[in-house]
Structure 1
Amino acid sequence: MAKPSSFLQVDGDRIVSDGKPIVLKGAGLGGWMNMECFITGYPGHEHQVRRELLKVLGRAKYDFFFDKFLEYFFTEADAAFFASLGLNCIRLPINYRHFEDDMAPGVFKEEGFKHLDRVVDLCAKYGIYTVIDLHAAPGAQNIDWHSDGGTNQALFWVHKDFQDRTVAIWEHLARHYRDNTWVAGYNPLNEPTDEEHTRLPAFYVRIEKAIRAIDPDHILFLDGNTFGMDLRAFTEPLPNCVYAVHDYSNYGFPNPPEEFTGTKEQIEFHERAFARKTEFMRKIGGPTWNGEFGPVYQQASDGLEDWEAINDRRYAVLECQLGIYARSHTSWSIWLYKDIGFQGMTYVDPGSAYIKLIEPFLKKKRALAVDSWGCDDTPVRGVFQPMADWLRQAAPSIDQRYPKMWRSEHHLARIVRNCMLGDELCAEYAVYFKNKNETELDELAYSFAFENCVKRERLNEILQADGRREAS
């Protein structure tokens, strides 16, 4: 497809292309250049499972497997399918480790661009914009697993060196993409968690200045604080920047407040939540980008008799949210495009080599509630609830610990199950790959290719219907 004649720009409360309003609609390519446990099936954090796989496979087979995984995860067939739905933008989460090593900071690995360039170019061929998203920054910009820190600490905010390295990485990326008009812009930090609420706005001022010195044209998409939900500490807007929220609904996850039936009260609840998150955008008269949202879905293998009815209710939540975004001209990027069956628009076939190989481990993970995202902790609640109650009794202030909405139960699960247990189980996961030859490793990686994936038809129908709405 012909290259756009100009960069996307912010014009008042809209994003414009050649002066005409455009609403960016698409999905995040999570699990690819920033792997996540629930997306691809491993436990814990990406660097931990890579550490164990390297031990089992050795360097040559390790490099071969991950190169094939990155290749097959998104190919031309994926880009063609995505474009066929009328969607026009893909968010590309990346892990800083693709570009530098912790033991060699500032020494950039050019191979980091191999697959990133390939996917940016494939998307451009099909008229799809891309947003480059630093999902995992040095030191971890948030306290969750997807920043790949390995702990429950966001050390990015307390070590200037981590911030300096992140600025240098973005300068490196900006030099590489500054002339590419198919890149919609840069998302400097995914879901930051600055418990002081002042360091994030200050860092955005710094990163905007550093990027603009190299690349004055691309939009910056700036996530709000506390996982993209809080912009109250922001004051003056930065130029040519789109402020971003993440808008997940509790009604789209296990153990919701109540069954979603689309009542007036439930719709108003979602409208109020989104209005609260986007108050700053209305105050400054700027556009909004919802960088992540979307329900998770049940499968027959979950053992729930009414799993299909549950999914119908979650699709209704999604349609409710898309209606809100349409009325406010909000650009959006649903989470996510591809996984192993949890919430992706496409997912790896249960009969594929990869799923058949690790199926016993997936059952164990589910029973232990190791992953955080969309987790149903019912199987282990009897073990953890007494400890959460004990923590609350010993130190009542724990329910005010940042972030306050987590409370004792979530803080405990994060440290014990997601961090400690997840790390310990990485070696067990890696054993499934032991003694695999390159042919077998290629087949496992190819499980993620579009040809081996199932389309989540109802989800894609909903997105296609919204994707074809005209910007007005």
Structure 2
Amino acid sequence: MAPPTPRSCLRVKGTDIVDADGKRVILKGTATGGHTNMENFITGYPGHETEMRAAMLEVLGQEKYDFFFDKFLEYFFTSSDAKFLASLGLNCIRIPINHRHFIDNLNPSVIRPGAFKLIDRIVEACAAEGLYTIIDMHTFPGGQNQGWHSDSGIHKALFWDFKDLQDRMVNLWAEIAKHYQGNTWVAGYNPMNEPADPDHVNLQVFYRRVEKAIREVDPDHILFLDGNTYAMDFSAFKEVLPNCVYAVHDYATMGFPMGEPYTGTPEQNDHLQKSYERKVEFMKSHGVPIWNGEFGPVYASASDEDHDKINAQRYNLLGHQLTIYKKDQISWSIWLYKDIGFQGMVHAAPTSPYIALLAPFLAKKKRLGLDKWGRDDRQVAHVYAPVIEHFRAEIPPAFVDRRYPQLWKIEGHIHRVLRETLFSEILCWEYASYFADKTFDELDALAASFRLENCVRRDGLNEILRRDATESG
């Protein structure tokens, strides 16, 4: 039996999210990243989604290209996925979206025919299991940040420099809000994922514009507003907008291969607490709700040395982070639900057609450390070290680490341009070549590798999430 439909939209009341009866609701869930916005480390391609799709179209031709991606989108999230997530006690699913599902750069004022059909299917499948959804715009034309997940194909955030790009996204959000107005299973809208505005003022202008445009057609839904610099910095924020939840992303470097192992020392736990407190200081000082929109370690694969020990440490790290959030009774959404075995709650099986086909390429990509997310540079550090040394030798010290985001330092910007952008873009053709001459049946089997029924469940992670979701509501 389907759960009763909420009588009204969730809303903000002081520091809480509340339902129609004024009862506090703590949203706990995950994100369907890699689905309606594909990402390189999640499904194994290099670089940016648009470049990968272009290479796949060249190899497959239009008919097979459409067939494969239609099947991938169909299989990746079904009613079975919603039932599984609900069985863990989770109550909210974040849906990251690539804006290209809705608008074409050559005709940006027109919404693509059938654009809402895919998102509606996810929203409806979740609603049938009593799961709220949050609509998250994960990419913006020109790039709202410098990362691969903005699908801009470049290493700059040009969105902030062009008002016409901003106009088209404000208009798109008005259309989305108009479509979901009155849908009480939609918890709200996350207007922009991980903004990175170098001037620290354009983001707030955009939030005021998009809030006004949404409220004109949908006065009820909550907006979930990310902080600047990848949802980690609210230091330049000047105001609180009505019926808004403010969002951080609280990743811990101890959960990644390049970070120190987490052993639960007082010093490490103190660092985790202080990092979290720094990110949420704006929310606490202004008395507004907190949503941790992304967090979570990456996990070692069975082929990695000491993988059981490493993963036990990362489960413990995740558990400690959840105790921090529980103390403040904040809402959260872990990253990530489904992938090829790197971070997801479930992942494509090692014996699946997709993993079996791409095994040599995935091994090469891992060796080269092309994906920023959780890579290990041990096998290629010697290649890039002279380049970094050259930059540091020739650029005056006052300027070498000045480029925003400064926290990346010059090393991060070099890797972003050389590896994550240029190298990865070129290797998109190699990735696509693995799909050459595949039949429709073979393409169907490859896409079906991502059906829940064909996936492996990461039980250690899922039990931690289930325990937190069910023990504390």
Instruction: Give 4+ residue runs of structure 1 displaced > 6 Å after superposition.
Output: none
- Identify the residue that residue 256 of structure 2 maps to in structure 1: 253
In the aligned structure 1, how far is the partner of 2:76 from the partner of 2:199? Answer: 38
Query: For residues 316 and 123 of structure 2, what CA distance do their matches in structure 1 show?
Result: 32
Indicate the residue corresponding to 2:382 in structure 1: 382
Please give the residue correspondences for 1:121-160 in structure 2 after superposition, counting only pairs within 5 Å: 121-160=124-163
SS in 2 for 1:150: coil
Name the SS of the counterpart of 1:21 in structure 2: coil
Instruction: Using the TM superposition, give the Cα deviation of residue 390 of structure 1 relative to its aligned residue in structure 2, in angstroms.
Output: 1.3
Q: Equivalents in 1 of 2:376, 2:37: separation in Å?
A: 24
**1:428-467 residue pairs with structure 2 within 5 A?**
428-467=430-469
- Conserved 8 A contact 1:392-1:399: no
Match for 2:156: what amino acid? Q
1:269 to 268, 271, 288: 271
1:300-341 C-alpha deviation (Å, 9 max, x unpaired): 223x2x111011111111011000000011100000000000
Cα deviation, 1:210-258, whole Å, max 9, x if unaligned, reads 00001000000000000000001112200000000000000000121x3
Q: Give, in whole Å, the separation in 2 of the partners of 1:6 and 1:196.
A: 38
C-alpha separation between the residues in 1 aligned to 2:108 and 2:214? Answer: 19
Q: Which residue in 2 is equivalent to 1:294?
A: 296
Q: Distance in 1 between matches of 2:167 and 2:242?
A: 22
Q: Partner amino acid for 1:436?
A: K
Stretch of structure 1 that moved more, 394-403 or 247-256: 394-403
> Over aligned residue pairs, what C-alpha RMSD do you find?
0.8
**What letter matches 2:364 in structure 1?**
K
In structure 2, the residue matched to 1:468 is 470
Q: How does 1:81-230 map to 2 (within 5 A)?
A: 81-230=84-233
Deviation at 1:470, TM superposition (A): 3.3
Secondary structure, aligned partner of 1:372: coil
The runs of 5 or more residues in structure 1 that have no matched partner are none
**Distance in 2 of aligned mates of 1:337 and 1:296:** 12
CA distance in 2, matches of 1:259, 1:210: 46
Instruction: Show the counterpart of 1:326.
Output: 326
Gaps of 5+ in 2: none
Aligned partner of residue 2 in structure 1, secondary structure: coil
Sequence identity percentage: 56
Name which of structure 1's ranges 448-457 and 259-268 shifts more when overlaid on structure 2.
259-268
Q: Secondary structure at the match of 2:299?
A: coil
CA distance in 1, matches of 2:261, 2:338: 27
Q: Secondary structure at the match of 1:400?
A: coil
Residue in 1 that maps onto 2:313: 313
State the alpha-carbon separation in 2 of the partners of residues 72 and 152 from structure 1.
Answer: 32
1:373 alignment counterpart: 373
Deviations 1:48-75 (A, max 9, x none): 0000100111111111111110010001
1:78 corresponding residue in structure 2? 81
Distance in 2, Cα, partners of 1:137 & 1:398: 28
Q: Tell me the SS of whatever aligns to 1:35.
A: coil
- Determine the structure 1 residue equivalent to 2:425: 423
Q: Residue type matched to 1:254 in 2?
A: P
| 2:376 maps to amino acid | D
Q: Counterpart of 2:406 in 1: which secondary structure? A: coil
TM superposition score normalised by structure 1: 0.98
State the Cα distance separating 1:9 from its structure 2 match.
0.3
Q: Which amino acid aligns with 1:464?
A: R
Query: Partner letter of residue 416 of structure 2?
Result: R
Is the 1:189–1:223 contact (alpha carbons within 8 Å) kept by the matching residues of 2? yes
Deviation at 1:452, TM superposition (A): 0.8
Partners of 1:183 and 1:354 in 2: CA distance:
33
Tell me if structure 2 keeps the 8 A contact 1:156–1:163: yes
Which one-letter code corresponds to 1:296 in the other structure? V
Q: TM-score, normalised by structure 2?
A: 0.98
Equivalent residue letter for 2:363:
K
Q: Does 1:404 align with 2:401?
A: no
Measured in 1, the distance between the counterparts of 2:358 and 2:411 equals 29
* AA partner of residue 224 (structure 2): F
Counterparts of 2:147 and 2:393, CA distance in 1: 25
Cα distance in 1 for residues equivalent to 2:390 and 2:114: 49
How far, CA to CA, are the matches of 1:434 and 1:235 in structure 2? 53
Contact 1:289 1:331 in 2 (8 A): yes
Shift of 1:261: 1.3
CA distance in 1, matches of 2:302, 2:471: 33
- 2-structure distance, mates of 1:158, 1:392: 29
Q: Secondary structure at the match of 1:110?
A: coil
Distance in 2 (alpha carbons) for counterparts of 1:112 and 1:419: 28
